[in-house]
Amino acid sequence: MLKWLVKLLKWGGLLKRGGDMKYVQPIRDIRKVEAIKHYLRIRNERDYVLFMIGINTGFRISDIRWLTVKDVKGTHIEIIEGKTKKLKKIKIRKTLRKALDDFIKGKQDYEYLFTGRSKKHTGIAGEPIDSSTAYKILSKAARDNGVEEIGTHSMRKTFGYHFYLKTKDIALLMELFNHSEQSITLRYIGIKQDSLDEAMDDFEL
């Protein structure tokens, strides 16, 4: 029961550290994003591509880990979300396209992109990594680059945060994340916290 609760907190956007509950945050500093990309690229191509898809699509890790080679060969990545059962289709831009092309070279269409040693789901080699493995990959990369309050949702939140800063299109982001209110999306991607911090910069008693 306890292990299940810890997993729920991690994947749901909360982390437990020393008894405190902290919201998982987006990676706001683009220099940190680039540092993590570089860190992963020189250590493990699989982990680098996983991160690249996460921050460039906004997909949940639970959907990303089931992607196959065939799924990423076109101009878009198209998925049916496991959580909502809704269709999501995101265009692949240049940097992600190059990372994917290099990674899938020589692989068969049916192969999963992100495989590990586990056989617990299918009983055969080549099945997708689980969410806990993805969390470990991301959290180590983040810690080693001075980023805290991290979780697998941080990739999704990082996408949303920088998408909003660039486009200011909150309606489109709400649709992508299946949120019913702007305030939910703004809180989810950390913009409300930014606004509070900015207001506090000019406030002191």
User: Quick check: is 107 catalytic?
Assistant: no
Set 10, 28, 60, 88: catalytic member = 60
User: Quick check: is 179 catalytic?
Assistant: yes
In angstroms, the CA 188 to CA 125 distance is 36
Question: Which residues, other chains included, contact 71 with Cβ-Cβ below 8 Å and sequence gap of 6+?
Answer: 77, 78, 79, 113
In the block, tokens 């680039």 appear at 34
User: Quick check: is 60 catalytic?
Assistant: yes
User: Quick check: is 83 catalytic?
Assistant: yes
Set 65, 156, 157, 162: catalytic member = 156
- Closest among 153, 149, 175, 151 to 164, alpha carbons compared: 175
User: Quick check: is 156 catalytic?
Assistant: yes
Q: What is the largest CA-CA distance in the chain?
A: 64
Helix, strand, coil content of the chain in percent (nearest 5): 55, 10, 35
Helix, strand, or coil (residue 121): coil
Cα 189 to its chain centre, rounded Å, is 12
- Two tokens at 35? 């540092």
In angstroms, the CA 119 to CA 116 distance is 8
Set 31, 83, 85, 117: catalytic member = 83
Set 153, 157, 162, 164: catalytic member = 153
Query: What residues form DSSP beta bridges with 1?
Result: none
Active-site positions read 60, 83, 153, 156, 179, 188
